[in-house]
Structure formats: structure tokens, C-alpha cells
């Protein structure tokens, strides 16, 4: 782990995010990683279950930045870039590793990582703590995922240990967070855009209450995705999912 960053390891737990949040509420100062060999109740975004077989990386970082909730728009993209950095360091070809809005990482066009960020604020002025949960498919992947999935081993033939992956992830995320200038979203947006999947191409977009087709154009300064709608006009999305357009063949 980077200097000054703690780590707690578990053979199994319900969810590393839950364990990290409980430790924060109990008064742990952090920063600290919580890493499990297996999760009994892993969670993805929007309450989805996260398959948690042994051999993959399940880790959450709890830390207490002196930031306001309004400062956090760039955080999902910083985390996605750090995960991308980690996959490349573990042997995945850089051209195969892409970031999918809002915070997934793909290898060869298939999902290999998901990120779940949760925070607690005692007031509207400052965040009390943040938990960044990261799952990386090193050896296994679900066959029935909503978005086609893969693992580092399946896509690139690399088989790192969980310990190796955790050490690299901790270092890459620490570097990205240390470099973070809250006032400069442009640099982060540029790095993310250069590695983005789906920009400039027709896709299917799903939100809580709608499904439609459009072409993602750009990442906005507040983290929203600017989309050109097939029927005309534009729309900013702040939550949802992107899928390839289904083939008609």
C-alpha cells in the first residue's frame, strides 16, 4: 500500500463497501483499503448484485477528503482511469482497455470492472467520508451480465494474483487522487475521453424510466454525458447505462 494508507483483508465479507462504511461510522480515520477474497452480498450500481467468485479483486477504499459534495463530479472518472491504469500494468494491451460511462472499464469491448462510489455528508458543506468500491474481473466473469462481460485472463491471457492486483490498484488510484485538482475537470475529461468507449457511435441508452437511441458526444464539466438523440435534439444524462445497438442480422 502507498505510505500512510492502511489495509484490512478478509477471507469473506458481505460487501467491502459495507465494511468500509461501518468502519468510517465507527471512527476510523483512513485512508484504508478493505479487500475480500469473496463477497457474500456484493453490490453494483443501482442496487444490482455483483458476482463475487474467488480469484477476482473486491476492494473498497475509505478516505476523508476535505471536499464538498459538489466537488465530486470528477471522482468516478478518476477511478475508472485508475482501474484502466491497473489493467494495463497487469498486462492488458492499452488499446483494448476502455472506459464506459459512467464508471465501468472494458477489455476488448466487454465489461471487466465496475465501480460503486458512496459518500456520507454531515452537512452540505463537507463530505464526512467517501467509499470507493471496485470490482475487477481477474479470473472469472458472469455469463448472464446485462452488458457482455469478460475477465483479464479471458481477454488478455494474464492471471495475476489478487494481492498483485490490489497493490497495483492502490498505487494507481493513490497517484490519480494525489494529482486531482478539483478546479480542473478538463484534464480528467480529456484523459477519460481519449480512452472512452461509445463516444461518436450510435448506442442504446437506458435510464430508470426510458430507453432510447442516440450518439454520445462528449463528457460535460459536471460529469454528465451529452447525447445527440436519434429523433433530434440533445440531452444530458447523469445516470443510466449504455449498450451497443442490437444487430439486425
pLDDT for 145 = 81
Superfamily for 6-194? Bira Bifunctional Protein; Domain 2 (3.30.930.10)
pLDDT for 51 = 56
Q: What does the radius of gyration of the chain's CA atoms come to, in whole angstroms?
A: 18
C-alpha distances in angstroms, 16 versus 60, 61, 134, 135, 221? Answer: 6, 9, 9, 10, 30
Contact of 103 with 136, CB cutoff 8 Å: no
Per-residue model confidence as pLDDT tens for the chain (249 residues)? 899 999 999 999 989 999 999 999 999 999 999 999 988 865 554 445 555 778 999 999 999 999 999 899 999 999 999 999 999 999 999 999 999 998 899 999 999 999 999 999 876 689 999 999 999 999 999 888 888 999 999 999 998 999 999 999 999 999 999 999 999 999 999 999 999 999 999 999 998 888 999 999 999 988 899 999 998 899 999 988 899 886 544
Question: What does pTM read for this prediction?
Answer: 0.92
Domain locations in the chain as residue ranges: 6-194, 203-244
The CB-side HSE value for 88 (13 A sphere, CA atoms) comes to 16
| Cα(111)–Cα(150) distance, integer angstroms | 6
Distance between first and last Cα of the chain: 49
C-alpha distances in angstroms, 159 versus 49, 82, 106, 162? Answer: 24, 19, 17, 9
Is CATH 3.20.20.100 the right assignment for the domain spanning 203-244?
Answer: no
DSSP 3-state of 177: helix
For the residues of 113-124, what is the DSSP string, one character each?
EEEEEEEEESSS
Amino acid at each position: 500500500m502507498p505510505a500512510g494508507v492502511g489495509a484490512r483483508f478478509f477471507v469473506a465479507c458481505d460487501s467491502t463497501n459495507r465494511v468500509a462504511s461501518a468502519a468510517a461510522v465507527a471512527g476510523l480515520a483512513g485512508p484504508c483499503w478493505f479487500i475480500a477474497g469473496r463477497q457474500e452480498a456484493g453490490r453494483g450500481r443501482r442496487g444490482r448484485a455483483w458476482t463475487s467468485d474467488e480469484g477476482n479483486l473486491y476492494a473498497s477504499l475509505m478516505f476523508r477528503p476535505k471536499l464538498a459534495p459538489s466537488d465530486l463530479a470528477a471522482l468516478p472518472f478518476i477511478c475508472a482511469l485508475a482501474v484502466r491504469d491497473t489493467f494495463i500494468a497487469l498486462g492488458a494491451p492499452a488499446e483494448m482497455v476502455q472506459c464506459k460511462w459512467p464508471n465501468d472499464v472494458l477489455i476488448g469491448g466487454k465489461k471487466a470492472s465496475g465501480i460503486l462510489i458512496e459518500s456520507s455528508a454531515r452537512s452540505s458543506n463537507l463530505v464526512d467520508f467517501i467509499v470507493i468500491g471496485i470490482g475487477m474481473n481477474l479470473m472469472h466473469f458472469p455469463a448472464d451480465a446485462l452488458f457482455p462481460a469478460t475477465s483479464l485472463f479471458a481477454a488478455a491471457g494474464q492471471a495475476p494474483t489478487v494481492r498483485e492486483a490490489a497493490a497495483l490498484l492502490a498505487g494507481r488510484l493513490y497517484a490519480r487522487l494525489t494529482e486531482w485538482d478539483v478546479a480542473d475537470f478538463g484534464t480528467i475529461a480529456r484523459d477519460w475521453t481519449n480512452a472512452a468507449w461509445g463516444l461518436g457511435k450510435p448506442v442504446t441508452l437506458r435510464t430508470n424510466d426510458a430507453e432510447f437511441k442516440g450518439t454520445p458526444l462528449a463528457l460535460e464539466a459536471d460529469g454528465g454525458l451529452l447525447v445527440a438523440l436519434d429523433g433530434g435534439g440533445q440531452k444530458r444524462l447523469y445516470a443510466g447505462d449504455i449498450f451497443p445497438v442490437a444487430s439486425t442480422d
